[in-house]
Amino acid sequence: MSLAQRWLKAAYGGSAWLAPLYPLGSLYRYLACRREQRYRRGNAPIWQASVPVIVVGNITLGGTGKSPLVAWLSRWLQEQGYSPGIVTRGYGGKAPHYPLLVTPSTDPQHSGDEPLMLAQQTGVPVIADPQRARGAQALVQQGCNIVISDDGLQHLALGRDIELVVIDGARGLGNRRCLPAGPLREAPARLASVDAVIINGALQHPLEVPHMTMQLVPQRWRYLATGQHYPLQPLPFTLPVHGLAGIGNPQRFFNTLQALGVQGDMHPFEDHQPFNERTVQFTPLRPIIMTAKDAVKCQAFAPPDSWVLEVEAQLPQAFEDWLLNRLSVLTQRGRIDG
């Protein structure tokens, strides 16, 4: 287990060995509040797009399920007749220029793994840019009439109309302390000011704000070499397997495999792990099962018997009704062309 993985386990498990970091956590919390006040009071510039901006983010580290929600929003908005686009930082990528329009064939070393995955899954314009406001402006110029900002809660230089926060139901807010003493990017009180809190999976820890529940539901297997899809059952590969996950919470993926009857050796990696041929050479030789996020980086060199589990977010009708109402209000205000 790496140091980062040990830290996450301690932050979410309440381990006492993080106690010496509590003063630094308090300082981080204070500085985050000061920064937010600067924007709120108009002491720092905020760029407001001419179209609505929906921010999908979190206040914790370690992976909560933001990307599946972003993909769901993209599909749902298209079904409602909108032309959405996604702006994201492009973490893990280094592009020759920004803003970078990410296509399904973009080099993941340029875009990062999540932007490429979203481009492949949604088919909507995806822009990677560390300066979110600049990236959102590029989407508007592309003809998008609504922008989804992926992992944009703390990027306050981009104005927003709707804030959605995703929380992992199993982990909750951990020890409820800010970095580096805990997993929080902002104080828990921040949840009271967002528009909706969405729990990924069953909530196993108390939460003092209203919330809705999202489920990540396995849909199909994809054979990585050809892109061909197979139903979940019967399993299209032999057991046992090697499970691979370089995401914020690998154990959640491994638990999903186990629930599907997939057994074998599970290999957790760091979030946004850069892979190469040596990384995926496991012994003994078995089928390799990975996430869609990892697959975009392994496509060129993964062993022949490699498979991807594709999952999709499912949200309650109450959330769809609520979001439709919010968009209707924005239309009445002239934020969306009617």
> What does the CA dihedral 207, 213, 311, 73 come to, rounded to 10 degrees?
-110
pLDDT for 63 equals 83
Give alpha helix (H) positions in 18-112: 22-40, 66-79, 108-111
Structurally, the chain folds into a number of domains equal to 2
Verify that 223 and 238 share a domain, yes or no: yes
pLDDT for 337 equals 67
What φ, ψ does residue 272 adopt, rounded to 5°? 65, 30
d(CA 8, CA 3): 9
Domain with 304, as residue range(s), is 216-313
Has residue 299 been placed in a domain? yes
Compute the residue count for the chain. Answer: 338
pTM, to two decimals = 0.94
Verify that 113 and 142 share a domain, yes or no: yes
The gap from C-alpha 334 to its chain's centroid, in whole angstroms, comes to 30
Q: In what helix (H) or strand (E) does residue 87 lie, and over which residues does it extend?
A: strand 84-88
Verify that 47 and 79 share a domain, yes or no: yes
| CB 87, CB 129: distance < 8 Å | yes
| CATH number, domain containing residue 112 | 3.40.50
Has residue 33 been placed in a domain? yes
- Residue for token pair 């406001």: 133
The gap from C-alpha 103 to its chain's centroid, in whole angstroms, comes to 18
What φ, ψ does residue 90 adopt, rounded to 5°? 85, 40
| CB 70, CB 56: distance < 8 Å | yes
Task: Give the bridge partners for 165, in sequence order.
Answer: 57, 197
Task: Give the bridge partners for 85, in sequence order.
Answer: 147
Could you tell me the sign of the dihedral formed by the alpha carbons of 6, 8, 9, 11, in that order? positive
Running DSSP on this structure, what letter comes out for residue 322?
Answer: H
Has residue 118 been placed in a domain? yes
Has residue 89 been placed in a domain? yes
Burial of 77 (0-12, 13-18, 19+ CB in 10 A): buried
Tokens of 101: 């329009």
Could you tell me the sign of the dihedral formed by the alpha carbons of 247, 252, 255, 260, in that order? negative
Verify that 160 and 81 share a domain, yes or no: yes
Verify that 252 and 125 share a domain, yes or no: no
Has residue 187 been placed in a domain? yes
pLDDT tens digits for the chain (338 residues)?
678 888 888 999 878 889 999 999 999 999 999 999 999 999 999 999 999 999 999 999 878 999 999 999 999 999 999 999 999 999 889 999 999 999 999 999 999 999 999 999 999 999 999 999 999 999 999 999 999 999 999 999 999 999 999 999 999 999 999 999 999 999 999 999 999 999 999 999 989 999 999 999 999 999 999 999 999 999 999 999 999 999 989 999 999 999 999 999 999 999 888 999 999 999 999 999 999 999 999 999 999 999 999 999 999 999 999 999 999 988 777 766 65
Verify that 95 and 39 share a domain, yes or no: yes
Running DSSP on this structure, what letter comes out for residue 47?
Answer: B
Burial of 239 (0-12, 13-18, 19+ CB in 10 A): exposed
Has residue 337 been placed in a domain? no
Verify that 161 and 185 share a domain, yes or no: yes
pLDDT for 320 equals 98
Has residue 82 been placed in a domain? yes
pLDDT for 163 equals 98
Verify that 20 and 168 share a domain, yes or no: yes
Has residue 222 been placed in a domain? yes
Looking at this protein, which amino acid is placed at residue 20? P
Verify that 120 and 261 share a domain, yes or no: no
Verify that 289 and 271 share a domain, yes or no: yes
pLDDT for 13 equals 86
Verify that 95 and 181 share a domain, yes or no: yes
Sort residue 99 into left (φ over 0), alpha (ψ -120 to 50) or beta.
Answer: beta
User: What radius of gyration do the chain's Cα atoms show?
Assistant: 20
Verify that 143 and 221 share a domain, yes or no: no
